[in-house]
Amino acid sequence: MADRFLEGRVAVITGAGRGIGRAIALVLAGAGARIALVDRTRADVADTSALVQDAGAQCETFACDVREDAQVQTLASQVMQRFGAVHILVNNAGTAIRKKVHEFTLEEWRLVMETNLTGPWLMCRHLIPHMKGRGYGRIINMTSIMAHVSSDGRGVYSASKHGLLGLTKALAVELAADGITAVAISPGFVETDLTAPLRADAQKSAALLAQTPLQRYGRPEEIAALALYLCSDAAAYITGNDVLIDGGWCAQ
């Protein structure tokens, strides 16, 4: 792949303020893409924006709660005003609450489902019309190994990620004629803020790593490298499926 193979492309990335979202923003920017950094507030993406600009790439920051239809609609309009096009959509924003299914309140259920599933759907609803007719498009939905398995305390999170994987398949079928692919990435346990409490617990961390064949946590940069490949022409025949990047967790 050429170093600047995304020159002229516009990528919209949610949850871009840290972790996997930040890593994807940096790697796509390095390949020449112009980046729309999206998080709940502009302050959340200020550090990512500085890093992207330091790398010599163009980016803009946008505040948006992906659960809110009106905010996502406004975001789509703002992105088009700033960039005039959308080619890549990375639905990375997500949340998790760890407790047993029957212990969830309705409000907690809605928070997880609206963030992890409704949010990506709203982003697709408002941005896909701007992606059509360009002969190229990529939608990357960040799912999880919990879209394939589940565990104690992860039931509602798992349900939301199973739903996102189903949405990915539907998008791939519906958008194939437009040259837009839709692929899910399912990371295992990665060194992000979401896994920080687990990694800080020596006993729990050791038990988890013992169940991971590679016996280490993934790095955000490894997930970003996969996202970069999926945006390339070399990945143009990959759509409607899910790529596990989990250190072998789901192979057992």
| Residue whose C-alpha is closest to residue 191's, from 182, 181, 199 | 199
**Is 157 part of the annotated catalytic residue set?**
yes
Residue 4: the pLDDT is: 92
The domains of the chain, with CATH numbers, are 10-245 (3.40.50.720)
Residue 193: the pLDDT is: 86
Residue 1: the pLDDT is: 44
Question: What predicted TM-score, i.e. pTM, was given to this entire model?
Answer: 0.96
Out of 157, 217, 229, 237, pick the active-site residue: 157
Alpha carbon distance, N-terminus to C-terminus of the chain: 33
Residue 202: the pLDDT is: 94
Residue 70: the pLDDT is: 98
pLDDT along the chain (252 residues), means of 10: 85 97 97 97 96 93 98 98 98 95 97 98 98 98 94 92 98 98 97 89 93 96 98 98 96 92
Residues 63-81 as b/e (b if ≥16 CB within 10 A, e otherwise) read bbbbbeeebbeebbebbee
Report the C-alpha gap between 232 and 200 in whole angstroms: 36
Instruction: For residue 180, list its beta bridge partners.
Output: 137
Residues 123-133 as b/e (b if ≥16 CB within 10 A, e otherwise) read bbebbbebbee
The DSSP secondary-structure symbol of 117 reads I
